[in-house]
Amino acid sequence: MPPISDHPLRYATVNELHARPFPALEVPSTAVYVAIKEPFAAVNRDRNKDVVHLHALLDRHGSAHPQPGATHFQGAIGRSDLKWESHTEFVTYTAFSRGLSKRPFDPAEAEILPEDWLAAAPGKRLTSVLIRIEAMPEAEATLFAQLDDWFVPESLAVSRVVDGAAIIAGDFRIDPAGHMRFAVFVKPGTGSRRLGRIVQRLCEIETYRAMSMLGLMRSRDLSTRLNGLDPRLSGLVEGLDNAEPAPEAALHDLLTISAELESLAVHFSFRFGATAAYEAIVNQRIQVLRETRIEGRQTFAEFMMRRYDPAMRTVKSAEGRLQSMADRAQRAAELLRTRVDVERSAQNQKLLESMDKRADLQLRLQRTVEGLSVVAISYYAVSLMSYLTYPLAKVTGITKDMLTGLLVLPVIGLVWLLVRRIRKALH
């Protein structure tokens, strides 16, 4: 019996489960993370440019290239380890280096990704993050003193995560060097893979937060355009019972508004759908951190609830408003079409009544014309018959006038009978 054949995508689908493994990190170490996105491109961006850009960085360090068509890569660049991932809308670079700089969050740490190389990237920097990974101090008071010195206390979020394996902290602010900063204090005995998952989730939280916030910017633009369409739509709906403007003109204006709303829905649907997906990922990544509060400090989940969730509700509100206006326009168009149909039916009824009257008048006129035609035909028929019977007048001694008079009534009767018979044959 021959062996069964595998589905052509069997191995590809299984390998996708293991395509992006978490890094294994040591304590202490530093992570530099950058996400790059083309401002106006989404799924149709040229990913070959990202690969060429990656090759340029690897060639500087003489490192091997990824396989053709790869969407992820891990390799060494000098004394650091590089992780590259290509996503639907963006591409990310993460460089992990052992040890810490003397100055916390020193901008020089980001130089592992050269500035001139970043400037040549096929896109713009969406986010960049410096993550400082060090051992957890024995005294938490020392830790909080460091955090108050490193971050803005008003925005600081800090929590114990993954069953107490680490303490994470960050203020979600961009420092003067253009980087966002996070600190990870690791409990002794925490595995390198677990630490790698924590750091990876911090990077994902920031990246997907930034991506979802793009929807907020687009929703503000949408709200401005809807603010211009809403009064026009409301005015048309309120004027449905008025005689002015004419229903045909109102329907034309309403269809114009509906077309604009449909165009907006097509234009914004991808961004709103992506925003909802990114929001779900942010909340899921925070949830898997399994945060616990430390000394009454706000957690990452609480920070997002206060600062991030309102933005996402704004996006959902704009999306719902667009859908609501499109539905209103559709209902108004249906009502206006009904009004137009009713008025046209009334006009058609009046037209039919007018046609009936005209048909009746035409019938009366036809009968009148038929009577006149009998007289005219009879006149000529009598003249012809007179010429035919003049010889008989001499024989009988009847005058021509008398003979003509005697022919009038019989000829008229015959002509009338003939016309009536023709009319019956036609009808």
> Among 189, 163, 21, which Cα is nearest to 94's?
21
Averaged pLDDT for residues 373-379: 72
Look at residue 204 and tell me if it is in a domain. Answer: no
pLDDT band at 371 (very low <50, low <70, confident <90, very high): low
Q: What pLDDT shows up at residue 122?
A: 92
Q: What pLDDT shows up at residue 397?
A: 67
pLDDT of 313 over the 90 cut: yes
* One domain, residues 70 and 166: yes
Q: What pLDDT shows up at residue 319?
A: 93
* One domain, residues 22 and 157: yes
pLDDT band at 163 (very low <50, low <70, confident <90, very high): very high
pLDDT of 55 over the 80 cut: yes
Final residue in a domain of this structure, among 166, 193, 220: 193
Q: What pLDDT shows up at residue 372?
A: 64
Look at residue 147 and tell me if it is in a domain. Answer: yes
CA of residue 262 relative to chain centroid, distance: 9
* One domain, residues 39 and 166: yes
Question: Judging by beta carbons within 10 Å of its beta carbon (0-12, 13-18, 19+), is residue 253 exposed, middle or buried?
Answer: middle
pLDDT of 184 over the 70 cut: yes
> Among 167, 168, 210, which Cα is nearest to 308's?
210
Look at residue 202 and tell me if it is in a domain. Answer: no
Look at residue 59 and tell me if it is in a domain. Answer: yes
Write down the residue that tokens 């269809």 correspond to. Answer: 255
Q: What pLDDT shows up at residue 241?
A: 67
In angstroms, the CA 331 to CA 237 distance is 9
* One domain, residues 37 and 120: yes
Q: Which domain holds residue 373?
A: 369-426
In angstroms, the CA 71 to CA 75 distance is 14
Question: In 291-335, which ranges are E strands?
Answer: none
- Angle, vertex CA 47, rays to CA 43 and CA 49, nearest 5: 140
pLDDT band at 114 (very low <50, low <70, confident <90, very high): very high
* One domain, residues 143 and 274: no
Final residue in a domain of this structure, among 158, 193, 228: 193
* One domain, residues 401 and 333: no
Final residue in a domain of this structure, among 163, 193, 223: 193
* One domain, residues 64 and 108: yes
Look at residue 241 and tell me if it is in a domain. Answer: yes
419-423 long-range CB contacts below 8 Å, 24 or more apart? 419/370, 419/373, 419/374, 419/377, 423/370
* One domain, residues 393 and 303: no
Look at residue 5 and tell me if it is in a domain. Answer: no
pLDDT of 77 over the 90 cut: yes
Structure tokens at 16: 């996708």
Work out whether strand 29-37 and strand 180-186 pair parallel, antiparallel, or are unpaired: unpaired
**Between 183 and 328, the higher pLDDT residue:** 183
pLDDT band at 43 (very low <50, low <70, confident <90, very high): low
Look at residue 53 and tell me if it is in a domain. Answer: yes
Residue 307 near residue 154 (C-beta atoms within 8 A) = no
In angstroms, the CA 12 to CA 33 distance is 28
Structure tokens at 77: 């660049």
Highest-confidence segment of 33-47, 88-102, 328-342, 388-402: 88-102
pLDDT of 117 over the 70 cut: yes
* One domain, residues 38 and 185: yes
% of the chain exceeding 90 in pLDDT: 53
pLDDT band at 139 (very low <50, low <70, confident <90, very high): confident
* One domain, residues 342 and 400: no
In angstroms, the CA 41 to CA 88 distance is 10
> Among 66, 53, 61, which Cα is nearest to 80's?
61
Total number of domains in the chain: 3
* One domain, residues 390 and 317: no
- Angle, vertex CA 130, rays to CA 279 and CA 163, nearest 5: 65
* One domain, residues 110 and 42: yes
Q: pLDDT (tens digit, 9 = 90+) per residue, 228-276?
A: 988 888 888 777 666 566 767 777 788 888 889 989 998 898 999 999 9
Look at residue 10 and tell me if it is in a domain. Answer: no
CA of residue 362 relative to chain centroid, distance: 61
